[in-house]
Structure 1
Amino acid sequence: MSATQSSSDCSIELRYRCSSEFIPILQHLRASIVVSTYKLGKVAVIQASGSALDVRLTSFPTAMGLAIHPRKITVGTRRGLWTLAAERDIPWEASSSTGPSSNSKSLTLAARDYHITGNISIHELAYHGDTLWGVNTLFSCLCTFETLHNFVPKWKPWFISELRPEDRCHLNGMAMDDDGPRYVTALGQTDVGGGWRENKIDSGCLIDVRNNRIVASGLCMPHSPRLHDSKLFVLNSGCGELCVFDETDGHVDPIDAVPGYTRGLSIAGQFAFVGMSQIRESNVFGGLPIAKKHDALRCGVAVVDLISGRSVAWFEFETAVEEIFAVEVLCNAAPTRIHSPDLEEDDQELWIVPPLKAPSATD
């Protein structure tokens, strides 16, 4: 399967493929998958269109964390947060090369608000009710956001002595429960700028936010903790693994390994959707166990059946996209598209306005 999409500055040849089981799983869940890729600066929507696959990229500079709310999605970028409102029953343009015809209805995610955070290396985002929480990696803390401030620090690991823009432990992932943030992942327990880089292979840890304690250590660049069905899942990224935390013995046990650096995790029903990335030859990724499989690594999404504990489907970008940052699954969703905040990304302007109210006799 392949598609070509033109952006405002260049033509992107986008080729992708998937296993035979991937589209039936999306159809079963009535799901669209939203992924971010910060190097290319795009957010992609991956969905079934009949028996085929529909993939569309939209520009967001340095797109990183994604947060899903019943009425909106927030995208973390290099210096701020874009909030996209969910608008239903808006026809897609007739000139669209992919997706439904102009007579069909869809879910459009239209950019509405932008909050300037400054470059805080924002990582994972999640909503608790209407409150947006973020992993502020540069300042080694969890934070929320409000109009008068770039961010509001709410919690930091006890081993971080002060809030400074130094990325001291590379705090990166966040698991939410009914009461808010519960677990986070970090690549080290260091209190100096960039200290986590010295021992990446086994210095990663899983932290209980509420009780201020390390519950698992010795991990290899862990990311994306998630609570689902009373279990805590986490990605042991440097080994390319999806794992589950066993609170009885404190072990992080592998469920399955996939051919990629694992980052970005969303669980729907019995399926875990795991982001897979290729890795760059750099001091960050050098020496990791997964680097030994460098030539076999894919960029895309693996689907792991949590009942059988094995990978059952996959989607792969063959061109353009080399890494995945965040993965979110929208279940029971209408066909979905994102309307870019950059008009040049779209061939039609979009106005969303309320109906004109007829004047009353007193007006």
Structure 2
Amino acid sequence: MSGDGNRAYGQAAFTRSRSHFADRITADGRDGWPVAAGRYRLVVSRACPWASRAVIARRLLGLEDALSMAIADPIQDDRSWRFTLDPDGRDPVLGIGFLSEAYDKREDGYPGGVSVPAIVDVPSGKLVTNDYQRITLDLATEWTELHRQGAPDLYPAALRDEIDEVMADVYRDVNNGVYRAGFATTQEEYAVACAALFRRLELLTERLARQRYLVGDTVTEADIRLFTTLVRFDAVYHGHFKCNRWKLTENPVLWAYARDLYQTPGFGDTVDFDHIKRHYYQVHSGINPTRIVPLGPDLAGWPTPHGRERLGGRPFGDGTPPGPVPPGEEVPVPGLPRPAPGQAR
């Protein structure tokens, strides 16, 4: 998905349409797409919370060499996601200027939106999947032969029922809830979405006050999915989407939890606040017609001590942290000049 992508609007409440291309890349290749190092390319936007899940999972699992990554410009035009960050405005591996070209190769005349994350088959140039809910789960469970040594188990079999239950609540009220509030067209619709969002955040606060991670004592897929919304909360959702009963920084438990994850290798080193803010404030012109990007919030608090170690837990379980960010995938430190197109970003 994207902050602007695969959605249904109308007089009824905000809904998010299902992914149209739901093929799976599996170890046995049962959908015709077997796991293979170097065959596929993950297309993302660092602005998009749904795509950011895949970026984090890929890094935690050490799949950077096996699954290459294309980063789209956070500002879309009428053809949606584009590769204008790359030299000559074309992805150097796929050779295309717009992600829509991979969609067209898969299905001529496809009428739906062009969304990220997306995985493209490099040899054919065809889109394989844009199933944002399934991609990360398959990276964790189907790509295991290509995981780095010491990779964490992000979807442990013994905890899947609980993880699924937590993720369903987080998706409905938080991940999707901020969009339901932000794109509401009536006061009542907005009020219902906003109330459900903060009610769920309060329940999560109670849960995380007594345990370091959402499920079990290690980082799981559930933490990844909550983090990608929390890290955008004060930067865009509080103001832009009117989710303003309180800021993340005003909730001691959630703010410490978010900082804990941000400081965990594989999380904060994938976050680009510049891309996030410019996308939401400049692309959503229906909400922000001036397209002015606010100067705040102050980001200085993200690296500060969080104190969550007292709750125990080990982020990677018996595994190890991921290594350094690969060259070309580094995110600029906030406040420093951004690289020119084609340089590391």
TM-score normalised by length of structure 1: 0.29
**Bigger share in strand:** 1
TM-score normalised by length of structure 2: 0.30
Q: Which is higher, the Rg of structure 1 or of structure 2?
A: 1
Q: Which has the higher contact order (CA 8 A, sep 6+)?
A: 2
